[in-house]
Amino acid sequence: MFGWQYFDTGGSAVEKFHPATLVAIGVLLAMATAYGNPLTGLIEIAKRHEALLPYLAANGFMIVYAAIILKLPVTIFIEVFVGAAIIFVVFANQNERLAHRLALLVHALLMTNALLGFYEVIANTRLTPFVINGEDLSLDEPRATALLGHPLANAMLMGTYVVMMAQGGARDLPRWLRPVVFLIALASLIPFGGRAATAATMVCLAYLAGQRLMNILRGDTFDTRSVIVGIAAVPLAGVALLAALDLGAFDTLTNRLFDDDGSAGTRIEMFALFRYLSTYDLVFGPDPNMLMTWVRIHGLEYGIESFIVAFVLNYGLLATALFFPTFGLFLYHMKQRLRPGAGLVIACMLAVALTSISLSAKSPALSIFVMTLTILMRKTQRSGDLR
């Protein structure tokens, strides 16, 4: 609407970054000025997050390698990976009062996103056009786009949000509202049509339910009222599911299960690109122009449906092998600073991301996930215990 050239060619260098990334950088610098000298402040912040330094160094290497050796755009590393680290640092050190208010805001935004998804499918309209490579695909896309503009990004965020709430991420909400928000978020996976997100979310919920059941069998206490409510909810949920199925509420998801519009074929076809690579190309990365030619020949212009495969094809095995272990360190550091259970949420996100272009394309999705996880799964000091 405002002509911000984020994905398209042209525009200034600033426009290649999401406005929120620029705001986050500004907030980080403002935090650093609290120490007087901004440079001293950044050093102090770095000391609190020393585990991020290898990750930031690896991003620096990838920026230089992509720009000088491969002649590829570098904004993906600043926007997606460094941007996510900045978001984590900004939100990981908030006082509890502000963090509580931020959590309520996050819940409100995600509920708005979920309800928009339902509205878009029912009204057959789209708030955000579904645009890939400058082409508007909204007319041929039955899935909702809501606030994030991409069905799979929405599905990944809402699926991980559900797993967060199942592990205490809804504790800022009133007790009576938590199950309502949980069910709305879970149901929103249907209009977003994310098969991998739905499967990963259900596997995580089944794992948590099985874990809880085993703990109860070992003698853990449990809330009798919750059991009674659960038993009463089962038949009601069954009736609601049958009614929704009869009304066609599941059509968006079931249509993707039985007709994926060539998505599965795309995931198989991407491996055919490797047969064009020499040993040198495989290790150090191929010529970008040649790779794009092969991508067009195989009809993969809309993206290589696996961020790991896309990284190997774009940057080579060597750079990929150097970068992703440090990305794992970043995720581990984040897990250590958050509530128990954050690791399962991160695993759910990675499982979904592995099935799409996700982290290998410029997008604010990772930063949004990091922000949501950092705020909702934060450790809080209560009665001397970290809960």
Number of independent structural domains in the chain: 2
Domain shared by 39 and 74, yes or no: yes
Where does the pLDDT of residue 387 fall: very low under 50, low under 70, confident under 90, or very high at 90 and above?
A: very low
Share of the chain above pLDDT 90, in %: 37
pLDDT for residue 187 is more than 70: yes
CA distances from 108 to 41, 101, 111, 358, 362 (A): 33, 11, 5, 25, 26
Q: Is residue 6 part of a domain?
A: no
Domain shared by 131 and 255, yes or no: yes
Domain shared by 316 and 235, yes or no: no
Q: Is residue 2 part of a domain?
A: no
Q: Is residue 129 part of a domain?
A: yes
Q: Is residue 176 part of a domain?
A: yes
pLDDT for the residue numbered 252: 54
| Amino acid sitting at position 101 | R
Contacts made by residues 23-32, CB under 8 angstroms, sequence distance 24+: 24/83, 24/86, 24/87, 24/90, 24/367, 25/86, 27/90, 28/86, 28/89, 28/90, 31/90, 31/93
Residue that terminates a domain, selected from 261, 276, 297: 261
pLDDT for the residue numbered 244: 52
**Mean of pLDDT over the chain:** 83
Q: Is residue 88 part of a domain?
A: yes
Q: Is residue 253 part of a domain?
A: yes
Q: What is the mean pLDDT of residues 219-228?
A: 63
Q: Is residue 332 part of a domain?
A: yes
> 124 or 328: whose pLDDT is higher?
328
Give the domain extent around 335: 16-93+262-382
Domain shared by 307 and 354, yes or no: yes
pLDDT for the residue numbered 386: 40
Domain shared by 130 and 76, yes or no: no
Domain shared by 195 and 280, yes or no: no
Instruction: Read off the tokens for 191.
Output: 């209009």
Lowest mean pLDDT among 11-15, 81-85, 91-95, 267-271: 267-271
> 248 or 350: whose pLDDT is higher?
350
pLDDT for the residue numbered 324: 94
pLDDT for the residue numbered 146: 87
Where does the pLDDT of residue 265 fall: very low under 50, low under 70, confident under 90, or very high at 90 and above?
A: low
Q: What is the mean pLDDT of residues 139-156?
A: 83
pLDDT for the residue numbered 333: 93
Domain shared by 192 and 331, yes or no: no
Q: What is the mean pLDDT of residues 9-23?
A: 84
Domain shared by 236 and 149, yes or no: yes
Instruction: Read off the tokens for 112.
Output: 């708005």
pLDDT for the residue numbered 302: 61
pLDDT for residue 288 is more than 70: yes
pLDDT for residue 242 is more than 70: no
Q: Is residue 291 part of a domain?
A: yes
Share of the chain above pLDDT 70, in %: 82
> 360 or 118: whose pLDDT is higher?
118
Residue that terminates a domain, selected from 261, 284, 317: 261
pLDDT for the residue numbered 241: 54
- Backbone angles phi and psi of 386, in degrees to 5: -90, 115
pLDDT tens by residue, 32-43: 998 888 888 888
Residue that terminates a domain, selected from 213, 230, 261: 261
pLDDT for the residue numbered 258: 47
Partnered with residue 382 across adjacent β-strands are 385
Q: What is the mean pLDDT of residues 318-325?
A: 94
pLDDT for the residue numbered 239: 54
pLDDT for the residue numbered 304: 72
pLDDT tens by residue, 347-379: 999 999 888 777 888 888 999 999 999 999 998
Where does the pLDDT of residue 321 fall: very low under 50, low under 70, confident under 90, or very high at 90 and above?
A: very high
pLDDT tens by residue, 272-283: 788 888 899 999
pLDDT for the residue numbered 373: 96
pLDDT for residue 384 is more than 60: no
Max CA separation in the chain (angstroms): 64
pLDDT for the residue numbered 66: 93
- The whole-angstrom separation of Cα 147 and Cα 136 is 16
pLDDT for residue 271 is more than 50: yes
Q: SS3 breakdown of the chain: % helix, strand, coil, rounded to 5? A: 70, 5, 25
Domain shared by 229 and 105, yes or no: yes
254: exposed, middle or buried (C-beta count within 10 Å: 0-12, 13-18, 19+)? middle
Q: What is the mean pLDDT of residues 249-256?
A: 53
- The whole-angstrom separation of Cα 292 and Cα 358 is 18
Domain shared by 155 and 200, yes or no: yes
Domain shared by 120 and 167, yes or no: yes
Are 193 and 123 in contact, with CB atoms under 8 Å apart? no
Domain shared by 108 and 230, yes or no: yes
